[in-house]
Structure 1
Amino acid sequence: MKNIIDELTWRGLIKNSVPGVEKQLKKTTTIYIGFDPTYDSLHIGSLIPIIILIHFQKMGHKSLILIGGATGFIGDPSGKYDQRIFLKKKTLQENIESIKKQLSKLLDSYSEKIEFINNFDWIKNISFLKFIRNIGKYFTINYMISKDSVKKRIQNNNKKYKGISFMEFTYTLIQGYDFFYLNKKKNCLLQVGGSDQWGNITTGIELIKKKTGKKAYGITFPLVTRTNGLKFGKSMQEGNIWLDHNRTSPYKFYQFWINISDIEIENFIKIYTFFSKKKIETLIFKHRKNPEKRLLQKKLASEITKWVHGKKSYEKVVKISHILFGKKYTNNLFSSLDEDILSFLYDNIPHMFLPYKDFIKGIFLLDLLKKSNLFKSKSEANRALNLNSISINKKIIKKNILLKKENIIKKKYILLQFGKKIFFIIKIE
């Protein structure tokens, strides 16, 4: 068996680890990774534990995926400024099913070897008195407030944080109990989570040690952050890149990877692909020679879009990317595109619907730009026109023309463009 720690380390997938874990992982080990179903979709930050789980599977280890039907009722306070919004039981159950479906698809050939579990199945049977007597007695208040997830929330001098409820305060004990339960029932010896989970993971390790005397282990991975330093997470919806095509279109998903900076891409190609070290080093070498070709970005975008959205969606995304950013497309060439591609384009970029009757007498471009919400006002749109920043069907327009039927692609679509990267498509029926 290869050394899994070495493999994850060179990829930049280990932030913290418990001493002795490398020796333990020379033997077949059962690991667990958890997901709280606070939303109906995972996001690109969620891909990292899934990727790590696949690395473990490839090296012969056993895996458990815990979907937190119980902890989802509470919400993990780690990295949060205030209390989560409570979810209804029906919503939580729908989220569980949706996330399980996503995970099964992503894990594909490995899914039969991975056991899905729900912590509600064992938490529901424990009374409050029994829990605080049998679990709470092992942890002092000093121990619990030393955890970063709690400490930050109770700092009076930090106005961003709004205190912490008793409910959230106990979250670390419940997650710690999950690890203890899985250690007892499934002989699970290792928990893997994001670096913000280190406190929760060590609580579980401590509980296992105090109740059984056995050694357990933990590994955390670095969190993927946006340019503003905030992590990608389910509760930070603005700017998040979701795995569900209804939340983040395959086109937007693909473009996210294409637009990763050269500073970040060398790390991302290691983290988000399963290419060998030798292949990645070769790709990095070629990329550095001609960074303007964006070889690494294209390679990563290809691999991860196919994995998450499938080969057919990837091929359509590449096609519409050529349409939007290529120079060869004219109104005549647009007319040769099949309805499937145009419909896919409509679904994947900002769009709106207009009735055909609005085009019987024509509609002025400035009015259309205002309707599309590309601009707040006609005067703002007019300034863009004067700067030659507006295109219709890939043709630059310099004045407020009257749009008529001949401007409609396939009698159905009009493609607006502002600058180089902002697109908007209108469907007319």
Structure 2
Amino acid sequence: MNIIDELEWRGAIYQQTDETGLRELINKEAISLYCGIDPTGDSMHIGHLIPFMILCRFQNYGHKPIIVVGGATGTIGDPSGKKEERKLQSIEQINQNVASLRAQLEKIFDFTGASAAIMVNNYDWTKDLSILDFLRDYGKNFNVNTMLAKDIVASRLEIGISFTEFAYQILQAMDYNYLYEHHHCKLQIGGSDQWGNITAGLDLIRKKQGENAKAFGLTIPLLTKADGTKFGKTEGGAIWLDPEKTTPYEFYQFWINTDDRDVIRYLKYFTFLSQTEIAELSIQVEKEPHLRAAQKALASEMTEFIHGKNALKQAIKISQALFSGDVKSLTASEIEQGFKEVPTFEAADEDALLVDFLVELGIEPSKRQSREDIANGAIYLNGERTQNLEKVVKATDRIENKFIIIRRGKKKYFLIKF
């Protein structure tokens, strides 16, 4: 199957500058193509994965990915999708972000072999460019009327846009021209909001390299959830690739909680499962949705892809322990992942009667209620039902001498730290 055919089946193509020309090119030769990311933060989130998954698919077909980490463009900020000016960051902070993003991207792409990916920083080819050279060599090639007509700029005209962000598309066009000239890059891919920046790059290439220069652009549809909300956002915020910001367990849970209406689409977008495998999972969604086989496949594929096999095993173990109530089997590090969002209390390093312990921590409102819940079997200590009113909570009850997990009723958990 041609890579373009696969992308179309996966619903991953929104616009192409020249579909016929691109098909002919990739049928004849392996090409270099690129996608960029600005280091506005120290971690990618799952929204950033969408174009990079497409880049990975091209690599699997023998094409050579170029990842541009925008050390230069990141100092300005893309106006696309923004209602106000981006706050500028220091060069030091941007450099730290570049290093963090590089580490994450190195886990996603293969940097060995014939189609080895390369990673570049656009700061390297812009840092020595003077303002006069910029205006003479590049500014002269851009028509202000054309720039104003681009959606990314037009959407900001009513509220205003600085010259800094207005000039962003010139810098991105310079990237494409540089990569075309120095790395034989023939294709830029990006989200649907990048169409204006991509076409600006193609215009610059034709002006700089000649009208016969063969270069192409491809954009990916905006991904939304079935309920109309933005993909990748939760009540707790973005789903990050950094395990310190979003633990592998939380990452796994995000995918496993995917709506039935979205799961097949996400499997096509984000996993490398075959058409046959996804078709079988689609049938299971229709016939046995309660088994959530498609969600489990999606969560497993994505967690292993980003965090590795061990992190996936750990995430599944935590999920199973919480479902069964067998929390005593968890290690301290697994408890920190799985109970990150539950009410957490600090306890004194001393023995205490369970009845009093629950009241002092605020888990129970009174001793009467505490005794009643214990006697009725509503209190679980590290997953074990405790109905003894004389039970004393001791150091031996702690998991790795750090935690005790209290459960009240079926689902209400509390984490006690020592």
Q: Specify the TM-score bucket, using the shorter chain as the normaliser.
A: 0.7 to 0.9
Q: Is the 8 A contact 1:360 1:404 kept in 2?
A: yes
Deviations for 1:125-146, whole angstroms, at most 9, x for unmatched residues? 2111221222222222221121
Among 332, 336, 342, the alignment partner of 2:332 is 342
Q: Per-residue CA shift, 1:314-372, capped at 9, x if unaligned?
A: 11111111111125x3xxxx44x26xx2332223423646243365466553553479x
The partner residue of 2:151 within 126, 143, 148 is: 148
Corresponding residue for residue 257 of structure 2: 259
Give me the whole-angstrom Cα distance separating, in 1, the residues matched to 2:223 and 2:392. Answer: 47
What residue identity is the alignment partner of 2:156? R
Q: Paired residue for 2:15?
A: 16
Relative distance call for 1:250 and 1:29 in structure 2 (3 A) is: same
Alignment equivalent of 2:171, drawn from 145, 154, 174? 174
How far apart are the structure 1 equivalents of 2:118 and 2:333? 39
In the alignment, what sits opposite 1:200?
197
**Per-residue Cα deviation, 1:278-322 (whole angstroms, up to 9, x for no partner):** 121122112321010000000111111111111111111111111
Is the contact made by 1:54 and 1:110 (CA closer than 8 Å) also made in structure 2? no
Q: 1:404 to 1:23 in 2, by over 3 A?
A: farther
CA distance in structure 2 between the aligned counterparts of 1:412 and 1:186, rounded to whole angstroms: 54
2:14 counterpart letter in structure 1: K
Give, as a single letter, the amino acid of the residue that structure 1 aligns with 2:130.
S
CA contact (8 A) 1:172 1:203 kept: yes
User: 1:418: Cα distance to partner?
Assistant: 7.6
Does 362-371 or 138-147 show the bigger shift?
362-371
Residue identity (%)? 40
Flag the 1:129–1:368 CA change in 2: closer, same or farther, 3 A: same
Q: Confirm or deny that 1:97 pairs with 2:99.
A: yes
* 2:323 alignment partner, one of 301, 325, 332: 325
Q: Which runs of 5+ in 2 are unaligned?
A: none
- For 2:183, which of 182, 186, 189 is the aligned residue? 186
Partner of 2:229 in structure 1? 229
Write the mapping of 1:44-123 to structure 2, written as runs, cut at 5 A. Answer: 44-108=46-110, 113-123=116-126
Three-state SS of the structure 2 residue aligned to 1:78 is coil
Q: Provide TM-score, normalisation by structure 1.
A: 0.83
In structure 2, what is the equivalent of residue 354 of structure 1?
346
Q: Secondary structure at the match of 1:426?
A: strand
CA contact (8 A) 2:111 2:118 kept: no
State the distance in 1 between where 2:409 and 2:23 align: 52
Partner of 1:280 in structure 2? 278
Higher mean displacement: 299-308 or 40-49: 40-49
Return the alpha-carbon distance in structure 2 between the equivalents of residues 292 and 422 of structure 1. Answer: 23
Distance 1:423 1:92, change over 3 A: farther
Find the counterpart in structure 1 of residue 214 from structure 2. Answer: 215
Mark the runs of 5 or more structure 1 residues left unpaired by the alignment: 156-161, 372-377
Could you tell me how far apart the structure 2 residues matched to 1:43 and 1:63 are? 20
Q: Determine the C-alpha separation between the residues in 2 that align with 1:174 and 1:422.
A: 52
Distance 2:70 2:173 in 1: 13
What is the CA-CA distance between 1:124 and the residue it aligns to? 0.9
Match of 1:125 among 128, 141, 157: 128
Q: What SS does the aligned partner of 2:125 have?
A: helix
Q: Which residue pairs with 1:374 in the alignment?
A: none
Question: Following the alignment from structure 2 to structure 1, what is the Cα–Cα distance between the partners of residues 71 and 164?
Answer: 15
- Is the Cα contact below 8 Å between 1:205 and 1:215 reproduced in 2? no
Deviations 1:233-269 (A, max 9, x none): 8xx9952100010010111100000100000001011
Contact preservation (8 Å) 1:154, 1:163 = yes
Question: Quick one: distance in 2 between partners of 1:151 and 1:402?
Answer: 71
After the TM superposition, which residues 26-41 of structure 1 pair with which residues of structure 2 at under 5 Å, given as runs? Answer: 26=27, 27-41=29-43
Which residue of the partner structure matches residue 358 of structure 2?
365
Q: Secondary structure at the match of 2:267?
A: helix
Q: Deviations over 1:144-186 (max 9, x none)?
A: 121222111122xxxxxx4211100100111011101111111
2:248 aligns with: 250
Contact 2:110 2:116 survives alignment (8 Å): no
Aligned to 1:25: 26
2:36 aligned counterpart, secondary structure? strand
| SS of residue paired to 1:153 | coil
Compute the RMSD of aligned alpha carbons: 3.1
**Across the two proteins, how many residue pairs are aligned to each other?**
397
Tell me the TM-score normalized by structure 2: 0.85
Q: Deviation of residue 203 (structure 1)?
A: 0.6
Distance 1:154 1:292, change over 3 A: same
1:412–1:60 CA distance, 2 compared to 1 (3 A): closer
